[in-house]
């Protein structure tokens, strides 16, 4: 199978992907979720003309000039309005959020009032008509569309939905990603290693990438290099109703790379295998019924780079989210040699210098070196057959953070 260009691979991987079905969740559990349908106001806010300040509700004609003497005929705290009518020369002590009494049209703030005792006050400063009053429906009216489908529910959106009297919301179901690591040499962190063993690290990075776009990560553990062991975990993923199965390692061309044969044996229809990119050439994609299967390389850096380029866009689209790679233009901090037929993603440190981004690649780019990836904040993207470039030449950078 010929090497597939990165852009074509991504197009094929995303072909036909739509939002997952919606589910109803309590408002308290909806933070960070994506709306599956618009939110329509179930009430008007405020539901009545309300005081915006602590003070005195009065008629404008009585407080247009100062000083003005008024008789206090009642009190209107929030949640319990005054039932009478404010007449000429009268006022009602009112608190923020309380309904404006009938007859009143203006609120004088308490700082502009002197209490004379015996139920009388003196207004010491004139007040403009309608001042300090929130009119009914100022924020929204019943039936208004407040939030559109696809909105990620942040603090402001959740507060708005609650104010509109929604106890629960319909949100896009979060994609479930089942992660399967493969390899006899792998042990989980904290293990006592034998002479031929290493720590399994990829699942944690891939899981974090999935969660960063709102997906759920299900780590099914490590499968030994035996077909029956890998098949058992694939079946667990199917039983869990995963939307995506991600395998780590074992999808290349070696004698012990069994993932491809196991997945096809379970019914996967292979779409592509091998990408014209570095790191990440041995990336596999296929469909097992409704489940999308991605075989990521075993090398840790390649696994995380491919998660950034392929897995995150897929999961974002399934979860109803917009996802765009943060591509920027920079200048090379050092010279770079000509490229071959594969698109390179070169780990680099990107810094601003006098208003210009400067991307300096690390000298060693081995795909096993995680420390360098953790230190990098960007990937210099080198097109296939890109010519040699001198320091200061323009380049494209995929920002990682």
Domain boundaries, the chain: 6-20+174-318, 24-45+142-172, 50-134, 327-399
Q: Which CATH class is domain 327-399?
A: mainly beta
The verdict on pTM exceeding 0.85 is yes
Low-confidence ranges of the chain (pLDDT < 70): 1, 251-257
Q: Which CATH class is domain 24-45+142-172?
A: alpha beta
6-20+174-318 and 24-45+142-172 agree in CATH topology? no
pLDDT per position as a tens digit, 366-388: 888 999 999 999 999 999 999 99
Q: Which CATH class is domain 50-134?
A: mainly beta
Q: Coil, helix or strand for 340?
A: coil
The pLDDT assigned to 54 comes to 97
The pLDDT assigned to 255 comes to 45
CB within 8 A of 113, min separation 6: which ones? Answer: 55, 56, 121, 122, 123, 124
- The candidate with the shortest Cα–Cα distance to 56, out of 122, 99, 107, 116, is 107
Q: Coil, helix or strand for 99?
A: strand
Q: What is the CATH number of domain 6-20+174-318?
A: 3.40.980.10
- Structure tokens that stand for 272 in this block: 């592509």
pLDDT per position as a tens digit, 112-133: 999 999 999 999 999 999 999 9
Q: How far is CA 338 from the centre of its chain?
A: 37
- What whole-number distance in Å separates Cα of residue 141 and Cα of residue 253? 63
The pLDDT assigned to 251 comes to 64
Query: Omega before 67 cis (within 30°)?
Result: yes
Q: Which helix (H) or strand (E) holds 60?
A: helix 60-63
């Amino acid at each position: 199978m010929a090497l597939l260009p990165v852009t074509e691979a991504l197009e094929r991987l995303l072909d036909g992907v739509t939002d997952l079905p919606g589910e109803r969740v309590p408002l308290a559990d909806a933070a960070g979720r994506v709306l599956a349908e618009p939110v329509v106001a179930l009430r008007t806010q405020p539901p009545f003309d309300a005081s915006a300040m602590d003070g005195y509700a009065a008629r404008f004609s009585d407080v247009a000039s100062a000083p003005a003497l008024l008789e206090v005929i009642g009190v209107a705290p929030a949640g319990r309005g005054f039932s009478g009518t404010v007449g000429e020369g009268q006022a009602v002590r009112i608190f923020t959020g309380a309904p404006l009494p009938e007859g009143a049209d203006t609120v004088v703030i308490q700082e502009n009032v002197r209490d004379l005792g015996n139920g009388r006050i003196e207004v010491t400063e004139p007040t403009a008509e309608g001042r300090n009053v929130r009119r009914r429906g100022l924020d929204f009216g019943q039936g208004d569309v407040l939030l559109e489908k696809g909105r990620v529910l942040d603090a402001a959106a959740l507060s708005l939905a609650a104010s509109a009297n929604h106890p629960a919301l319909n949100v896009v179901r979060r994609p479930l990603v089942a992660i399967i690591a493969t390899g006899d040499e792998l042990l989980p962190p904290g293990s006592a290693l034998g002479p031929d063993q290493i720590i399994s690290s990829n699942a944690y990075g891939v899981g974090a990438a999935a969660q960063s776009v709102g997906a759920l990560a299900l780590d099914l553990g490590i499968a030994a290099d035996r077909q029956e062991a890998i098949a058992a975990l694939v079946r667990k993923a199917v039983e869990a109703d995963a939307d995506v199965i991600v395998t780590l390692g074992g999808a290349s061309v070696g004698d012990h790379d069994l993932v491809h044969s196991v997945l096809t044996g379970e019914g996967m229809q292979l779409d592509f295998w091998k990408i014209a990119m570095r790191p990440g050439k041995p990336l596999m994609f296929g469909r097992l019924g409704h489940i999308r299967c991605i075989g990521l390389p075993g090398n840790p850096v390649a696994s995380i780079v491919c998660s950034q380029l392929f897995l995150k866009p897929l999961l974002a689209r399934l979860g109803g989210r917009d996802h765009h790679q943060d591509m920027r233009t920079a200048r090379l901090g050092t010279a770079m040699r000509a490229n071959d037929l594969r698109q390179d993603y070169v780990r680099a440190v990107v810094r601003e210098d006098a208003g210009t981004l400067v991307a300096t690649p690390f000298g060693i780019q081995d795909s096993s070196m995680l420390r360098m990836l953790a230190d990098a904040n960007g990937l210099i993207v080198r097109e296939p057959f890109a010519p040699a470039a001198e320091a200061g030449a323009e380049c494209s950078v995929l920002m990682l953070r």
